[in-house]
């Protein structure tokens, strides 16, 4: 069976690794000159190293990606970072219960309330029910208005801009519940892991075609056509607007 995968980010490459392991013939199409998608990086000619387009890390409970990294020979390295926030002209550590209690910019009651609220979120096993609540309304109620105003409101606006009022609490819960003390990184950035996944696919007989933007995907009576090339199946991992453009009649 011959499978086309459109998109050389983590989703596409993860699918490619699984498929070549099961004996399928795989071709990965990536429009950029390097793998990665949102996890990619950029490197001006005079640089000796690559800087990621966006900051990334993994947690110690990200079992699937840890297993994938070990499988392709690029294991993650974990360390406990010191995370600070820039508040009123000062760098302040706010990544532990003790550092929160020492944060004198908030009243002691606000510090205790925020700590208790974050603990409640951490202990919720499944926060799907929080989808019906918006962060801008629920978080001040849970963590206190002072704590929300001084810390979380600024962070939320910086991250989501004009869309901040649309963010639901299930997203915020997932950030708190998922987080672990140690964070994982890869020497050379996440591109190293992506390149290792691409090489793994190739060593198993698959193809990785860089700089290859797909123009059209069409469903036929038997199989699929990708820019005139025949496949038994297609996996598209691009954003919805691009998918709609290249495969408008795929059903």
pLDDT in tens, the chain (251 residues): 999 999 999 999 999 999 999 999 999 999 998 898 888 888 788 888 778 888 889 999 999 999 999 999 999 999 998 888 887 788 888 878 888 888 888 899 999 999 999 999 999 999 999 999 999 999 999 999 999 998 899 889 999 999 999 999 999 999 999 989 899 999 888 989 999 999 999 999 999 999 999 999 998 888 999 999 999 999 999 999 999 999 887 65
Residue 40 lies in a domain: yes
156 and 109 both lie in a single domain: yes
pLDDT at site 251: 59
Last residue of some domain: 162, 180, 198? 180
Q: What Cα–Cα distance (Å) separates residue 60 from each residue in 66, 77, 155?
A: 8, 10, 24
Q: Which domain holds residue 35?
A: 2-77+189-246
251 domain residue, yes or no = no
Asked whether residue 195 is domain-assigned, the answer is: yes
Single residue among 147, 180, 213 that ends a domain in this structure: 180
Q: Rg of the chain's alpha carbons, rounded to an integer?
A: 22
The model's pTM is 0.83
| Number of domains forming the structure of the chain | 2
Would the CA dihedral through 116, 122, 127, 130 be positive or negative?
positive
Among 129, 163, 180, where does a domain finish?
180
Of the candidates 212, 220, 213, the residue with the CA atom closest to the CA atom of residue 246: 213
Query: For residues 242 and 35, what is the distance between their CA atoms, to the nearest angstrom?
Result: 17
Q: What is the CATH number of the domain that holds 154?
A: 1.10.3110
User: What confidence tens digit (pLDDT) does each residue in 208-251 have?
Assistant: 999 999 999 998 888 999 999 999 999 999 999 999 999 887 65
Q: Is residue 140 part of a domain?
A: yes
Q: Clarify whether residues 46 and 64 are in a common domain.
A: yes
In the three-class reduction of DSSP (H, G, I as helix; E, B as strand; rest coil), residue 114 is classed as helix
Round to whole Å and give the CA distance between 27 and 251: 22
* DSSP reduced 3-state for 180: coil
We report the CATH number of the domain holding residue 71 as 3.50.50.60
């Amino acid at each position: 069976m011959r499978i086309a995968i459109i998109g050389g980010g983590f989703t596409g490459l993860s699918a490619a690794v699984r498929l070549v392991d099961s004996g399928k013939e795989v071709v990965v199409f990536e429009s950029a000159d390097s793998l990665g998608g949102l996890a990619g990086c950029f490197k001006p000619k005079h640089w000796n190293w690559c800087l990621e387009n966006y900051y990334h890390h993994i947690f110690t409970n990200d079992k699937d990606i840890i297993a994938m990294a070990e499988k392709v020979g690029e294991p993650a390295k974990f360390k406990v970072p010191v995370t600070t926030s820039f508040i009123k002209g000062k760098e302040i550590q706010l990544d532990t219960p003790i550092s929160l209690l020492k944060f004198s910019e908030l009243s002691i009651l606000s510090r205790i309330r925020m700590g208790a609220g974050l603990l409640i979120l951490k202990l919720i096993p499944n926060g799907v029910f929080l989808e019906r609540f918006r962060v801008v309304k629920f978080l001040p109620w849970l963590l206190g208005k002072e704590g929300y105003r001084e810390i979380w409101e600024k962070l939320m606006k910086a991250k989501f801009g004009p869309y901040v009022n649309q963010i639901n609490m299930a997203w915020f819960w997932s950030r708190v519940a998922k987080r672990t003390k140690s964070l994982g990184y890869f020497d050379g950035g996440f591109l190293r892991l992506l390149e290792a996944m691409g090489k793994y696919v190739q060593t198993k007989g698959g193809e990785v075609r860089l700089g290859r933007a797909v123009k059209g995907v069409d469903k036929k009576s038997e199989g699929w056509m990708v820019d005139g090339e025949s496949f038994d199946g297609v996996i598209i991992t691009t954003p919805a607007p691009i998918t709609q453009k290249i495969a408008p009649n795929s059903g």
